[in-house]
Structure 1
Amino acid sequence: MERVSAYMLFSMSMCVLFGPSHSEANPPSVLLNVSPSKWLNVGDSVILSCEVTDSSNTDWRFSWHRAIPHTGTLELVQINAIRYSVQQLPDSQRGAGGVYSLSSVNENHTGVYACRAERGVPVTHTLYSYPQLLWVADPSPPASLSISPNRSQHFVDDCLLLSCEVQGNSSGWRLMMLRNDGTLSECRPSIQGPLGPTCNITGIYIYEAGVYWCEFGTRQYSNAINVTVAGGDTLLESPVLPLAEGDSLTLRCLVKAGINPDIEVKFYKDGSLIKTKAMNVMTIANISKSDEGMYTCQVPAHSQSPRSWVAVRGSSSGASPKGLHTGVIAGLTVAALAFVIIISVMVTIFCFKSSKGQNAVACSADVIYTEVRLRNTLKARETSVPQCPSDVVYSEVKKGRRAVESGEVIYTSIVIKDRESGTSNRRKDP
């Protein structure tokens, strides 16, 4: 009995001295937060904060990583059923105190991030965090992702088709997804088409909700589409892609069984009621950055729709496109008027000089007016319809009111004068 007590006392003392292997038995977990938003524009600031959730200690050291789909050459992270690999950021020391801040982001900061904490000697590690997306909008991405039907929210069992169109060689591009449960992987089933990868989801489920995008390596991305799956019978139809300031925002509340057109539908932004409409459509004209946010809707006797993020980007140039077009058109108008005046002056001078000749053409009697037509070359370039290789500027000469009204042949009379003999030969061309 004494031997057993002595053994238990020795075991307890060893446990107090060295403690259990915390990194192996029950490592703490961490939570990664992105603020103020994971959807960013170039030049915005963002903070990634890493917090140890089940420890009161404050002497943790943090490391920051880019998360990618698991490969055999990089460290494998497993959190329940979540699997991914990590690449430690070269400037990971900027995350001292559990905060990794970026004061001016650009397209290179787009990606999926994770964090981990450690302390003590020997080192005790926490688990890796669930991966979080940080997305910086590229005004001209090298590829574009589209979805059919063209909306971000879908009912359970809806069929979706996601298609990536790559500018140039599409080899090596893949269609990725980061599900809301933290799963980072390629969208399946994925098919490599001539323009890029496509993913056909024959019946989507709630767990497949998340962000989808196309990527090449870890530095080239398409636009991103946030796919939400409505668990109830109501969804909000909103723009899939970001809008520009000055655009119109149209929101439509949809119910599986249909909506009575006279019923009052409530629309919310960031949790606050913004409008009650006697129809299921709401439009906000001439939007600005302040209209960016989370939108949802609710129909009486039905569930509330999921939330959808509506992004608003600034105009791509300092001048308004409409103002630019107006200035160009005004310039063309002034040029046309100046051209008409010059032609009129030249015709008058020519007629005045010709009237002194013996066999001159009676200009004032034959020529009624000159009509000048200019094509709007600006508008032709804006359309996708193939245009003629060159724009024609011409004048139409008309003779007499009767000839115009009766449809008679209008012809020109050309006088050829022999300078040596002083005689004139008149030739008529129809």
Structure 2
Amino acid sequence: MKSSASTPSQLILKPAYFILFTYLLYHIIFFVNRYHFTERPKAKVRIKPAQHVFRGETVTLRCDIDGEGVTSWQYSWYKDGSNSVFSELQEHTFRFVTESDADKYSCYGAERGGSRTSNISDAVTLKVSAKVSIKPDQHVFRGDTVTLRCDIDGEGVTSWQYSWYKDGSVSVFSELQEHTFSPVTESDAGKYFCYGAERGGSRRSQHSDALTLTVSDFPKPTVTVEPQSSVFTGDTVTLRCEVDQTWVKWKFLWTKAMDSKTELTEAPTKTIDSVKVSDGGEYRCRARREGYYTHDSEPATVTIYGKYFSFSLSSTMNHVLWKK
């Protein structure tokens, strides 16, 4: 019968195998965890020469990924959140950039011949634009002074030649950065846009979005009286001057027929406390804005009645009782 006792050499080898097995298992777990749980690298978009460019320029989008151990990436470019890939190069170049190329761009990378991927980059916006502003406001009145201004955010350009267009016309009506109408008339109302070209250079801006200038004749206010029922001496009367153009900060001028005095109020209401018969009459208002006045309102008539008294004779008392 064979003995089951281990030889001295077997007793020495078993701990060595155990140590080797433990060492290999540790490294297998380490590399598996590193592969599965290491944070994916982040892609980053850069635009050359700048994010603000002009029609006709050459613009390059570049995708950089800081991924250790990856020697070759396959790139995917996306525009404005679309799922469609429009380029698979690290650098994508627009040789003659146009307005349609202005948008938000992001990129993503996948390891060639491997399984690693990057996170998608933050979106970077490519701008090709000019901007119109109107002072003091897009809504103005006949006789106001109005200024159109064209601003172009162009890095490296020190001088622009501006072109102004109205209502889609191809005719340029001004080449100044600021064009002023003084006084403005109803015929100046319309949609305006501008465009810029570098003086002595080749850079061009995009046409701006159109901005609408509205020119109105001054409105005619309406006067209302509260209360509308009979008003007696001692009552309180409120006159209200109503103007349609509520976006304007008006001041209000009140006049009364047969009275040379005028009253200017910040609020659209005029209140008369403890009215007298002499407060009755025809009232008109007009609104004022920066030295210009609206038309006069139609007159509103306020009639004040005196307090009346009635009397009766008492059959049981030998005097007259006056009733207020």
When normalised by structure 1's length, the TM-score is 0.29
The structure that has the greater radius of gyration is 2
Decide which structure has greater helix share. 1
